[in-house]
Structure 1
C-alpha cells in the first residue's frame, strides 16, 4: 500500500496540473459517472493529503475522497499534445486543455472514490493520528496514545489512528535507525525516544516526497560508501532492514530477521535492535513532548 509520502507527492502533482483551472471530469469505467458529471466543467481548487487519504477539491466545497488501497494508482500526465482515450478500468479521469498543451490524470484500482463535503473531509482527518508531512501535526497526540499502550511500538506506528501515513517501510526503517526493537511496548519508550523517531519521520518522509522513493540509509551506508551493489527491489530506495530477511545488516553484519506482527511482516536486526527488557516499572507516564516550532 502506498505510504504517506506517495499521497503527498500526488497531491502536489494534481495541484500543479489542475489547481485554479476549469477541468473535464469523467468516469470511463462508469462507477463514478453521476458524481463525475456533477463536477464536469467545475474549477479544481487543488489537492491535499492526510496520511494515506487524498482529497481533490472542486469549487463549491466539493471534494473527491480517494484511498488507493493496495493496488490503486492515480497517474498524472502534464503538458501532453492531446488527451488519449482511456485504457483499462479508469474510475476517474480529470483533464484540461490549455492552448497546445493538455494534462490529464487517471485513477484506477482505488478502494475508495467518493464525492464528499468539507464536513466529511474534516471527519476523516479527525479520525487520523498526526501526519509527519502536515504542518499542523501535533506529535503530542500520538505520544499520549503510545505512552499509555502495552501494544508494541511496531504495531502502534502502523495504526493510522496513532500516526498517519507511516507504512511498513518507514516503520521498519525508522525503528532500525533509532535502535529500537519493534516488539517493544509503546509505554516503555521515553518521550525523548519518541520525539527522535517523530523528527526522523518528518525528515525521511519529506525526502520521499521530493524524490519519489524511500531512502533511509545514512551517508556512510550508501552503496558508494560501502562499495556494495545498489538495492534491486520493486519498491526502490536504499534501506537497512525492510525486505532484507536473511541478509547481512549493513551496520553490524548480523542476519536480518522477520516475523508477522498484526498481520504484516516485521523486519529488524537482532543486534542493532536488541530485545527490550524492562529494568523498572514506570510509576507514571512522562509528560508528552511539546509541539514543533
Structure 2
C-alpha cells in the first residue's frame, strides 16, 4: 500500500509526538497585489515567521510583468520578518546583461541566496538561449551566491527520460548549486525512488521535497495536469464526495500534508519546502499540528 495512503487511512486519528522542532521548514510566496498587501497579510506572514523557517522564497514573474515586484517584496519580507528571503530568478526571457544587473542588485542588498530556474516560455517556438544550469554558472561567476535549483521526482514534462532528467539535475549541482527543491507531488513512494536514483548517479546535494497542501482541489489538480504530476485515485476520491463542506475539504488537505511530512520524516527527510499560494493562515495551522 502507498505510504501516504497507509498513513492517512489507518493512522490519521493517532496522536504523534510533535516533529515541528525536529525539521527545517521553508515557505514559498508570490508577490501579492497592492490590494492584498494589507496588515492582515503581514500579520499572517508574521505568524509563519514565528515558526523560524530557514528561508522564505518569492516567485519571479518574468512572464506576467511582476519581476520588479519580486525584488521589492523580497526586501519587504526580509525587513519585516528578519528571515532569509530567497528570490526566484528565471533566465528564459532575459539576456545575460539583464541577469547580471538583477543579480548584482540582490547581492549588493545582502540577498545572497537565489533559486535559479529556467522558467516557462510563452510560445512553443521560443528559442531557448539559457537554461537553469547556465544561470547557475552566471551567478557563481558574479559572486558566491548560495543557489537552489528545481528537481522533478516525477520527471519534467519536457524531459526525454528519467535518466536525462537526473543527469541535468546533476549538471546543475556540479555547476555550483547547493541544493534542490522538488516540484510538489502526492506520491511519497515516487519521491523516495527519486531520492535513491539521485544517490545512484552521484548527486549528494540536499534534495528538499516541495509540499503543496490542498486547500482548493480543483486549482491544485489543474496545476497537476499542467506539470505532469500524478494524483493517486484515492486522493481524487476524497474530494469527489458532493456532500463535503469546505471545512471538511480543508481538513482533508491539512491532514494529507501533515501525513506526507510525517511519513517522509520517518524515511529520514528533515527539510520541507511548503508552497503556500499565499494562504499563510492555512499553512500555519498545518505546521502547528506537525
Q: TM-score w.r.t. structure 1 length?
A: 0.30
> Relative contact order, CA 8 A, sep 6+: which one is greater?
2
Q: Name whichever structure is richer in helix by fraction.
A: 2
Q: What is the TM-score normalised by the length of structure 2?
A: 0.30
Q: Which has the larger radius of gyration?
A: 1
